[in-house]
Amino acid sequence: MTLKKHITAVALTTAMAATATVASAQSEETIKFGLCFDLSKSYTFVTPQVAQAAQDLAMYTNDNGGIEGHPIEIIVRDHGNEPQRGVECYEQLKRDGVFIFNFMSTPVTNAVLPRAMNDENILMQSFVGRGDAVDGEVFEWVFPVGPTYWQQAANDVAFIKDQLDGDLSDAKIGFIYLDYPFGQEPIEILRTLSEREGFELELYPVPLPGSDQSSAWSSIRRDQPDYVISWLLAGGHVVASKEMRRNRFPIDRYIAVNWFNEVDISNIGAEEATGILRGTNVAGGQEVPIVRLMLDTYYADGNGSGPESLVRDVYYNTGMAMFSTAFEAARIAVAEDGWPLTPESMKTAYESLSGFDGDGVMAPVTVTPEDHGGGGKTRIEQWDGENWVPLTDWSADYLDIVWEVIKESSESFSVE
């Protein structure tokens, strides 16, 4: 398959373009990535897209010489969102020589994290997991590159403040969330911001799986918050949209977490969803250069790693953001420290990423030994009936407050 004209067209700055002239790598030792994902239970609305993006990106990289002459191997396993199965997956792949892992689940990531720290293996934690893990001085082997849930929630509050003419002192903000670790994660930072900014914070827990929200929305109707920030998943947003109509809550005052995609819009109804807001960590759509490249090459010929429908989903872009960053770190590590790639060289390379955006698939990230998140930028988008329209630039707000909370939390962490 000839990809040269496409590489020239988009001028990728990721690992693929940097290694396009390297000779065939199929006989060389591989760089293994262990993807222990929930492929059967709670997170099946997102994990297939992310895994497919990783596999497509690896295929493209390998077709163009690998990473400094070394092919990538993507190993995908199912943990069913069960922490013990996630630990077992980690231990099995570790025995098989894997030292770079991704779990795409907050409870599973939290369960594996102490082991990865003790073993000094790389734990990719983008967009999931505990918010204080961006503290690289404590969580040396954990890389939550991109915004954590804490930073995303803080950025949502900053957006609300801007909409209310820069004053939150008389505001009321609701937080509706799944009542388990994923949903509970932003509460601490929201409470801190409530104390600092003077707004009233109302919490509305929803039991799993998110289908029963009637009590929460009855309370929202009674309390009449100015905005509601939502930490729900998949069908939970669909249920929320119905409850908003029933309780006459304006849909343009609902800010969804980043886990809100094209499938959710379709299930709500494109017209019915008009006005709804979401915080996002990545650029959506198919005109992002690396996504367009995949469509114009592999998928145009029916040779992608999965169905084309999954490429036309913001979660595919999420996978591209996560793994283009990881592949770039691997490229830097091998280029600067040589082969074999080790956890130590991968760690150092991650911490040298500067202004990296995967050719526009996400906000630029600059990772340091102190900050493993890379800046924490998100933006707010609004559905106009046909497309997501950015309402803000990429930004990270309340950084001083967020980092105060990060340090207070990380100080108490121990791998024991």
Same fold? 4-147+284-350, 150-280+379-410 = yes
Residue 195 has pLDDT above 80, yes or no: yes
User: Bridge-partner residues for 33, per DSSP?
Assistant: 74
- Confidence at residue 221, expressed as pLDDT on a 0 to 100 scale: 98
Could you please state the CATH topology (level 3) that the domain comprising 150-280+379-410 is classified under.
Answer: Rossmann fold (3.40.50)
pLDDT tier at 28 (50, 70, 90 boundaries)?
low
Question: What is the domain partition of the chain in residue ranges?
Answer: 4-147+284-350, 150-280+379-410
Residue 359 region, left (φ>0) first, then alpha (ψ -120 to 50), else beta?
A: left
Question: What pTM does this model have?
Answer: 0.90
**208-226: per-residue pLDDT in tens?**
999 999 999 999 999 999 9
CB 203 within 8 A of CB 192: no
Treating both helix axes as pointing N-terminal to C-terminal, what angle do 343-350 and 314-337 enclose, rounded to 10 degrees? Answer: 110
pLDDT tier at 157 (50, 70, 90 boundaries)?
very high
Tell me yes or no: is domain 4-147+284-350 CATH 3.30.470.20: no
Nearest-CA neighbor of 122 among 405, 325, 412, 319? 325
**337-391: per-residue pLDDT in tens?**
999 999 999 999 999 999 999 999 999 999 999 999 999 999 999 999 999 999 9
As a whole number of angstroms, the distance between CA 212 and CA 235 comes to 11
* 15 vs 73 pLDDT, higher one: 73
Residue 37 has pLDDT above 50, yes or no: yes
Nearest-CA neighbor of 24 among 55, 70, 73, 59? 70
Taking CA atoms, 341 is separated from 17, 24, 281, 338, in Å, by 19, 18, 29, 7
**123-146: per-residue pLDDT in tens?**
999 998 889 999 999 999 999 999
